[in-house]
Amino acid sequence: MGKDVIIACDFESRERTLDFLAQFSACDGCKPFVKIGMELFYAAGPDIVRELKDRGHRVFLDLKLHDIPNTVKKTMRVLSGLGADLCNLHAAGTRAMMEAALEGLTRPDGTRPLLIAVTQLTSTDQAALEQDLWIRAPMEEVILHYAENARAAGLDGVVCSPLEAGKVHGRCGTEFLTVTPGVRFAGGELGDQKRVTTPARARELGSDYIVVGRPITAAPDPVAAYQACVEEFAG
Ligand code: C5P
């Protein structure tokens, strides 16, 4: 898998998403890899995955599953049937849950979407880790431990900050994917993101995929912003 930019389609409806993506039809050869998160999935329903696949997009289905192994396995079977290319879950659901998820994702012909695990949300800081989650260890150690668990369960990678991508590769191997949100152009608006890097820095740090939302979706010219992002990260 080469380096690529994934656009976070954090929109409230199918119509808004299709209008946004229609702008890319003017761009020769642009078929962005897109991320469907909870907002769009719950608003538009599972058909949005099939529709974007039919239009030729690769789809990261960012639903962050976390439940008992049997429930996650059966849900992953449904998501796999929609044709998603990449799915995810919370590593906190345990190794048994991650193994069950892989089983559920595997189609009768042996193919399956890639599966990655959220280690710790980037909105969780050290204080919340200790006081709310009652985990008494440094954040970085927790993230690397969760990443190792995901690798041991047979997963393909993790969602993490670009700042952690190199360490995850060091611990879990260079083939283990790091999919990283928290990317901003130099001088761009941070919004609610705290620990951010530019696409160029994310590339240097070893991210395999960057997930970019508002710097592209809220840009005056989203296609130009996407192309600039691809050029900086993967060019
Ligand atoms: O607009 P922005 O570029 O901040 O969008 C980042 C996307 O990545 C959002 O869809 C957000 O939900 C997602 N994400 C994140 N941090 C995580 C996991 C997912 O920002 N730890």
Q: What is the pLDDT of residues 74-103, one digit of tens each?
A: 999 999 999 999 999 999 999 999 999 999
At CB < 8 A and 24+ separation, what contacts does 229-234 make? 229/5, 229/183, 229/185, 229/199, 230/4, 230/5, 232/198, 232/199, 232/200, 232/203, 233/3, 233/5, 233/199, 233/200, 233/202, 233/203, 233/207, 234/2, 234/3, 234/4, 234/5, 234/203
DSSP 54: H
Question: What's the confidence (pLDDT) of residue 9?
Answer: 98
Pick from 41, 40, 43, 34: nearest CA to 7: 34
Size of the chain, expressed as the number of residues it contains: 235
Query: Identity (one letter) of the amino acid at 77?
Result: R
The pLDDT tens digits for 5-52 are 999 999 999 999 999 999 999 887 789 999 999 999 999 999 999 999
23 CA to centre of ligand 1 in angstroms: 22
State pLDDT tens for residues 178-233: 999 999 999 888 877 777 899 999 999 999 999 999 999 999 999 999 999 999 99
Atom 8 in ligand 1: which residue has the minimum CA distance? 181
Atom of ligand 1 nearest to the CA of 62: 19
Q: Which residues are catalytic?
A: 64
Ligand 1 pocket test, candidate residues 35, 211, 217, 229, most atoms within 8 A of CB: 211
* CB 206 near ligand 1, within 6 Å: no
Q: Is the CB of 122 under 6 A from ligand 1?
A: yes
| Rounded distance between C-alpha atoms, residue 118 and residue 192, angstroms | 19
The answer, as to whether pTM is greater than 0.85, is: yes
**Residue 26 has what pLDDT?**
82
Residues 159, 29: Cα–Cα separation, whole Å: 27
* Atom 5 of ligand 1, nearest CA residue: 213
Give the CA angle between residues 9, 60, 229 to the nearest 5°: 60
pLDDT, one tens digit per residue, over 139-185 is 999 999 999 999 999 999 999 989 899 999 999 999 999 999 999 99
**Residue 87: per-residue pLDDT:** 98
Q: How confident is the model at residue 3 (pLDDT cuts 50, 70, 90)?
A: very high
pLDDT at 46: 98
Pocket test of ligand 1: the residue of 10, 60, 198 to mutate, having most ligand atoms within 8 Å of its CB, is: 10
Look-up of token digits 């719950």: 42
pLDDT of 95: 98
Instruction: Tell whether the torsion through CA atoms of 218, 157, 45 and 124 is positive or negative.
Output: negative
179 lines ligand 1 (CB under 6 A): no
